[in-house]
Chain A
Amino acid sequence: MISLQINGETYEVDVAPATPLLWVIREQIGLTGTKFGCGMAQCGACTIHLEGQPIRSCVTPLAAAKGKAITTIEGIKDEQGLLHAVQEAWIEEQVPQCGYCQSGQIMSAVALLNDNPNPSEEEIDQAMKGNICRCGTYPRIKRGIQKAAASLSANPQILAENG
C-alpha cells in the first residue's frame, strides 16, 4: 500500500510502484479531470502539481509521489469552492473548444502564475509550450493567462492562498 496526498485528502492505493501517477489518479482514485494524451511527456494533457511544481503525471511513477502533496484540476478551487482566477479567466475569454487539453493547460498556467505573477508573452510561450491544444486555442490561452495575472495582481491574497 502506498499513501498519497491528493488535493488535501489521503488515499491508500495498492498498485505497482512503477505505475504512472496519471493512471493511479484516474483509475484508482477516480479523479478523471487529468487526461491521457501521449504517455511520453510530449503533450501536457496530464499535467498536475507535485509539491506545487507542474509535472507530467504520465511519466511520473507512483513511487515518486510518496509523501508529497499532489494537486489536480479538481483541487484548485478555493475552500469555498470558488474558481481559481485562471479558471475564471478561461470562462471570461471562452478559451476551451473540445476542452480535453484544458485541465493540463490550466494546471500549467496556475503553476506559471504562482512562480511568476506577471509573465511576459515570451515567458508565457516558454511555460506553456509543453501543452498541446489541437483545437488551436493558443491565442485565447494567452489572453486568459494575461487576464488571470491582472486579476491576481489586483487581489494578491488569492495568489498567496493558492501559492
Chain B
Amino acid sequence: MGKWTRRAFIGAGILTGGVLIMGVAIRPGKRIGKVMGLIAEEDETVINVWLKINPDNVITAILPHAEMGQGVHTALMMMLAEELEADWDKLRFMEAPADKEYANYVLAKGFMGEMFNIPSFLDKTVDGALLMATKSMGLQVTGGSASVRFTGAAGMRVAGASAKAVLLQAAADKWSVPLAELRAEKSYIYHDKSNQAGPYADFAKEAAELSVPAKPKLKAPADFKIIGTSPPRIDIPAKVDGTAQFALDVKLPDMKYATIQSPPVFGASLKSVDQTKVQDMAGIHKILEIGDAVAVVADGYWLAKQGLGKLQIDYNTNGNEGLNQADIYAKFAQALDQRDQLKTDLEVGNPLKALESGELASTHEAEYRVPYLAHSAMEPMNATATFKDGKCEVWVGCQNPLGFRIAVADALGLKLEDVTLNNMMMGGGFGRRSETDIAVQAALIAKELDYPVKLIWSREEDTRQDYYREATISRFKAAMDEQGMPKVWLNQFVYKMHPAEGSHIPYAVEHQMQQHTDVELPIPWGNWRSVAHSNHAFFTESFIDELAHQAGADPLEYRRSLLKENPKVLKVMNMAAEKANWGESMPENHGRGIAVHTSFGTTVAQIAEVSVVDGKLKVHRVVCVADPGYAVHPDNFIAQIEGGAVYGLTAAMHGAINIENGAVVESNFHNYQMLRMDESPEFETYIINSYDAIGGGGEPGTPPIAPAVANAIFAATGKRVRELPFKDADLN
C-alpha cells in the first residue's frame, strides 16, 4: 500500500432488519507542506460504508467505482471477499450512490501518498477546485487505474478483515470458546472442537457492538484463496444477451429525445438560429438555445437529428477561425525555440556543464511530434434527465458521479440534495466520461420541458466536441561517451501534463534535464487513457532506440546495460525478450521492436513484430510482459493490458484529430479510423508478480505499443518514424 501514514476509522452498526454494516473511512495522518492543510480538517466522524451482511447471510459489497469495462466490480469484490473469507457465490454488490458519504478519500490519499500532488485528471472533475473540494465534499472518481490500487488495497481489504475480526470475536463470546480455536470459511464460522458452526449473519448483531480493529491483520499473498484467481466477471452475462443497461438504454414514461450541436469553432458564440425549414416538421417539439449550443427535442433521436440538420445556425467570429494544425505545430516549435523561457522540471547531475565540457564523443538530436486524439468511446455521449418541482434527476454513465451531481446542481442553481444521479454502465470511458458537459446539457434541456428527455450526441458531435489528448512536440539531445552510451539526456517538450513521471526514463544516465513550455490554445484538453504516458513513452522509448542504433548496439542489449540498477524493469524486459525470441532471425521486410515503460505502478514491456511491404505496415504479433506487483484477477488484467495496447495501437496507426479553421476536421469513423479485427495483432501476455505495491491495469498497456511498433518499423526498414500516426509516414 502507499507510503502514506494513515489512521483508519472503522465503525459498525445494525440497520433495521438486522443488517450488519461495516465501514472504513481512511484519513491521512500528518503530512508536511500544503497537502497537510488541505486535508487535515476533515470530519472525523465520516464513516464510509463498504459492506453489509444480511440476515440470510448474503453479503453486499458497496463499491465506490463505476464499471466501464475494466472489471472493477469483480476485482473489488474479490479483495473484500478474500479478507472476509466470504462465500463468493453469496456475495452481491451495489454501486455506491453519488453522495458525499461515499466520496473517494481513499483514492485522493492514494495519489497524495504516491506523488504528493493530486494529478490534474482529478482537477477538472470538481470545477478545478479539486483540493478545496476534497476537503469539503470529497471525490468519487474512477480513473488513474486507481480503483484496485487504492480503494481495493486500502479500503476493501481492510473492511473485509475488520468485519471478519469482529464476527469471530462475537462467535467466541457467544460460544464461550477461545478466539484462536475459531476459523472462518465461506461466510461461516466453525469451532471444530465443539462441532459448532454458524453463518456470519448469526453473529452480526453482537459483532456490531464490538469495537472494530483499526488496523486488522491482512493476509499474506501466500494465503490468498480468491485474489490471484480469475472467477468469471459478474458483469459479463448481461453483456452477451443485450440486457446490460447503459445510459442510452434508459426508458422513462413520456420520454422524448434530443440532440445538440455546439459551435464547431472552439470558443465561438451563437449568433442566430433560423428555424424556417423545421417549423412544419411533424414530431419536432422544441428548439432550444443551451448556452451557445442548439438542441432539438423530438419524438425520436433520428427525427431530432434531421431537424438539427435543417436549422440554419450562425455563429459570431471569435478569432479562432484562422487556427490550423500547421500553425499549432509552428507555435509549439517557436515556444520551444525560446530556450530561456523553458521551465525545468527535472535536473539530474549537471547536464549543461557536461555538454559544454567537450569531453563527450558524440551527440544526437531528434524531434518528435504527436497529434490531438479523441476518445471515441463506442457509446456516444448521452444522458437522460427530468426536471420537476425544482428537483432534477439524471441518468448517465460517468467516471465521477459526485462531480456530475455537483456540476448539474451548479448549472441549474439547485442545492446538491435536489439533484439525484443514477450512474449506468458505461460503453467505454477512457477518461472522456469524467467530463460533466453531457449531464449539464441534458439537465438544462430538461429544465425547459415538462417531460423526461434523453439527450444523445451524434458521433460527429462526439468527435468534434471532445476534450482531446494534447498535440505536442518533444525535442531530444543526447551526448554519448566513446562506447556510445548516453551521459547526457536533454528533453524539451510542450505541455507538462500529469502524471509528472510520464517523461521520466528508467535508464541510468548521469546527467538529465527535462523542460517544458506552454502554448495557449482553445482546444479543450482531457484525460486520455494513460494521459501523459501516452505520448512520452513514444518519445523516450523511440529516442533510446535511436541511441542504440547510433552506437551500433542491439536495442535490447543497450537498454540492459542502462538498467543494471533497475531490476524490476530489467526483469520484465528480459522476460519479454525471451518470450518473443529476441534475436532470432526474421524474414525480409520484417522487424522486431521493443519498448518498456512504467505507468500507474505497473511496468510493461512490449515487443512488436511487424512487416513493411510496399510501404504497407502490418503488426503481426505483440508479446507483453507486465509486472503489476500483484494481479488481483489475472485473466482480467491480461484483458486490460491487451485492450490498452489495442487502444494505443489504434492511435499510433490511425489517430489524428486535425484542426482547420478553428474546428475539428474529423467527424466519424470513416475519417477518424479505428483499429479493426483484420489489423489487430496476435497477443501473448505474461504476468510477473513481484509483490511490489499493487499497480494499475487499465492504462499501463497503452504507452509502450507505439514505440515498440516504431522501433520494429526501424528494424524492418531502417526508417525512423518520429511523428504519429504511422498511416501518414512514408515507409516506401
B642 within 8 A of A: yes
Interface pair A129/B676, CB less than 8 Å apart: yes
Per the bound structure, the CA–CA distance linking A141 and B635 in Å amounts to: 15
Q: Which bucket holds chain A's interface residue count? A: 35 or more
A147 within 8 A of B: no
Point out the residue from A97, A125, A129 that lies within 8 Å of B639, measured CB to CB: A97
CB distance from A6 to the nearest CB of B (A): 13
**13 sample A-B contacts, Cβ–Cβ < 8 Å, listed by A number:** A36-B456, A37-B459, A38-B459, A39-B668, A90-B236, A91-B236, A91-B240, A98-B426, A130-B676, A133-B646, A134-B647, A136-B680, A137-B639
The 3 closest A-B pairs by CB, nearest first: A33-B242, A136-B646, A100-B427
Residues of chain A with a CB closer than 8 A to B300's CB: 15, 19, 23, 27-28
Per the bound structure, the CA–CA distance linking A135 and B643 in Å amounts to: 5
Mask, B223-246, CB within 8 Å of A = 1, is: 000000010110111111111111
Q: Please give me the residue from chain B that is nearest to A30 by CB atom.
A: B251
Q: Is the interface of A mostly helix, strand, loop or mixed?
A: loop
Interface pair A27/B257, CB less than 8 Å apart: yes
Point out the residue from B241, B248, B425, B670 that lies within 8 Å of A77, measured CB to CB: B241
Mask, B289-314, CB within 8 Å of A = 1, is: 00000000001111101000000000
Interface pair B642/A136, CB less than 8 Å apart: yes
Interface pair B249/A98, CB less than 8 Å apart: no
Per the bound structure, the CA–CA distance linking A138 and B301 in Å amounts to: 30
CB distance from B477 to the nearest CB of A (A): 35
CB distance from B426 to the nearest CB of A (A): 6
- List residues 261-308 of chain B with CB under 8 A from any CB of chain A: 299-303, 305
B636 within 8 A of A: yes
A113 within 8 A of B: no
CB distance from A113 to the nearest CB of B (A): 15
A146 within 8 A of B: no
- List residues 33-76 of chain A with CB under 8 A from any CB of chain B: 33-40, 42-43, 45, 72-74
Tell me which of B69, B233, B425 has the highest count of chain A C-beta atoms within 10 A of its own C-beta.
Answer: B69
B→A interface (CB under 8 Å):
68-71, 230, 232-233, 235-246, 248-249, 251, 257, 299-303, 305, 376-380, 425-430, 456, 458-459, 635-636, 639-640, 642-647, 650, 668-670, 674-678, 680, 682-683
Interface pair A134/B240, CB less than 8 Å apart: no
Per the bound structure, the CA–CA distance linking A32 and B677 in Å amounts to: 25
Residues of chain B with a CB closer than 8 A to A37's CB: 378-380, 459, 669
Tell me which of A30, A43, A99 has the highest count of chain B C-beta atoms within 10 A of its own C-beta.
Answer: A99
A101 within 8 A of B: yes
Q: Please give me the residue from chain A that is nearest to B640 by CB atom.
A: A97
Interface pair B678/A99, CB less than 8 Å apart: no
Point out the residue from B240, B241, B301, B458 that lies within 8 Å of A23, measured CB to CB: B301
Interface pair B668/A42, CB less than 8 Å apart: yes
Per the bound structure, the CA–CA distance linking A93 and B230 in Å amounts to: 12
Point out the residue from A20, A39, A142 that lies within 8 Å of B677, measured CB to CB: A142
Residues of chain B with a CB closer than 8 A to A139's CB: 642, 680, 682-683
Per the bound structure, the CA–CA distance linking A74 and B239 in Å amounts to: 11
Per the bound structure, the CA–CA distance linking A136 and B643 in Å amounts to: 4
Per the bound structure, the CA–CA distance linking A90 and B244 in Å amounts to: 15
Residues of chain A with a CB closer than 8 A to B376's CB: 134
Per the bound structure, the CA–CA distance linking A129 and B669 in Å amounts to: 13
CB distance from A79 to the nearest CB of B (A): 15
Interface pair A98/B642, CB less than 8 Å apart: no
Interface pair B425/A98, CB less than 8 Å apart: yes
Interface pair A100/B668, CB less than 8 Å apart: no
Point out the residue from A23, A30, A35, A90 that lies within 8 Å of B378, measured CB to CB: A35
Point out the residue from A45, A99, A134 that lies within 8 Å of B236, measured CB to CB: A99
Point out the residue from B235, B241, B682 that lies within 8 Å of A74, measured CB to CB: B241
Residues of chain B with a CB closer than 8 A to A141's CB: 677
Q: Is the interface of B mostly helix, strand, loop or mixed?
A: loop
Point out the residue from A35, A36, A102, A133 that lies within 8 Å of B240, measured CB to CB: A102
CB distance from B358 to the nearest CB of A (A): 49
Per the bound structure, the CA–CA distance linking A90 and B378 in Å amounts to: 19
Per the bound structure, the CA–CA distance linking A82 and B458 in Å amounts to: 35
- List residues 114-157 of chain A with CB under 8 A from any CB of chain B: 124-126, 128-142
Q: Please give me the residue from chain A that is nearest to B255 by CB atom.
A: A27
CB distance from A162 to the nearest CB of B (A): 15
Tell me which of B427, B428, B429, B430 has the highest count of chain A C-beta atoms within 10 A of its own C-beta.
Answer: B427
Q: Please give me the residue from chain B that is nearest to A75 by CB atom.
A: B242
Interface pair A72/B242, CB less than 8 Å apart: yes
CB distance from A139 to the nearest CB of B (A): 5
Residues of chain A with a CB closer than 8 A to B650's CB: 134, 136
Per the bound structure, the CA–CA distance linking A43 and B328 in Å amounts to: 31
Point out the residue from A31, A32, A91, A136 that lies within 8 Å of B645, measured CB to CB: A136
Question: In the complex where A19-B300, A27-B257 touch, is A35 in contact with B677 (Cβ < 8 A)?
Answer: no
Mask, A78-109, CB within 8 Å of B = 1, is: 00000100010011001111111111001000
Interface pair B236/A20, CB less than 8 Å apart: no
Per the bound structure, the CA–CA distance linking A55 and B251 in Å amounts to: 25
Q: Please give me the residue from chain B that is nearest to A86 by CB atom.
A: B240
Residues of chain A with a CB closer than 8 A to B71's CB: 97
Interface pair B428/A39, CB less than 8 Å apart: no
Question: In the complex where A94-B636, A97-B639 touch, is A43 in contact with B242 (Cβ < 8 A)?
Answer: no
Per the bound structure, the CA–CA distance linking A43 and B682 in Å amounts to: 21
Interface pair B668/A87, CB less than 8 Å apart: no
Interface pair B240/A126, CB less than 8 Å apart: no
Residues of chain A with a CB closer than 8 A to B644's CB: 136
CB distance from A110 to the nearest CB of B (A): 11
Question: In the complex where A91-B236, A100-B427 touch, is A42 in contact with B670 (Cβ < 8 A)?
Answer: yes
Residues of chain A with a CB closer than 8 A to B299's CB: 15
Interface pair A132/B668, CB less than 8 Å apart: no
Interface pair A100/B246, CB less than 8 Å apart: yes
Per the bound structure, the CA–CA distance linking A100 and B425 in Å amounts to: 9
Interface pair B459/A98, CB less than 8 Å apart: no
Per the bound structure, the CA–CA distance linking A133 and B387 in Å amounts to: 35
Q: Please give me the residue from chain B that is nearest to A34 by CB atom.
A: B242
Given contacts A33-B242, A128-B678, A135-B646, 14 further A-B contacts (CB under 8 A): A32-B251, A36-B380, A40-B668, A42-B669, A98-B377, A98-B429, A100-B428, A102-B239, A126-B678, A131-B677, A135-B69, A135-B428, A136-B680, A141-B677
Per the bound structure, the CA–CA distance linking A126 and B647 in Å amounts to: 21
Per the bound structure, the CA–CA distance linking A101 and B300 in Å amounts to: 22
Interface pair B302/A20, CB less than 8 Å apart: yes
Q: Please give me the residue from chain B that is nearest to A101 by CB atom.
A: B378
Interface pair B249/A32, CB less than 8 Å apart: yes
Residues of chain B with a CB closer than 8 A to A32's CB: 242, 245, 248-249, 251
Per the bound structure, the CA–CA distance linking A106 and B244 in Å amounts to: 14
Residues of chain A with a CB closer than 8 A to B303's CB: 16, 19
Point out the residue from B240, B430, B646 that lies within 8 Å of A83, measured CB to CB: B240
Residues of chain A with a CB closer than 8 A to B69's CB: 96-99, 135
Residues of chain B with a CB closer than 8 A to A102's CB: 239-240
Per the bound structure, the CA–CA distance linking A36 and B428 in Å amounts to: 13
Interface pair B239/A134, CB less than 8 Å apart: no
Question: In the complex where A19-B300, A43-B669, A77-B241 touch, is A98 in contact with B680 (Cβ < 8 A)?
Answer: no
Per the bound structure, the CA–CA distance linking A100 and B462 in Å amounts to: 16
Q: Please give me the residue from chain B that is nearest to A20 by CB atom.
A: B302
Per the bound structure, the CA–CA distance linking A98 and B236 in Å amounts to: 9
Interface pair A91/B232, CB less than 8 Å apart: yes
Interface pair B242/A98, CB less than 8 Å apart: no
Residues of chain B with a CB closer than 8 A to A27's CB: 257, 300-301
CB distance from A15 to the nearest CB of B (A): 7
Point out the residue from A33, A126, A132 that lies within 8 Å of B669, measured CB to CB: A132
Per the bound structure, the CA–CA distance linking A99 and B653 in Å amounts to: 24
Interface pair B427/A99, CB less than 8 Å apart: yes
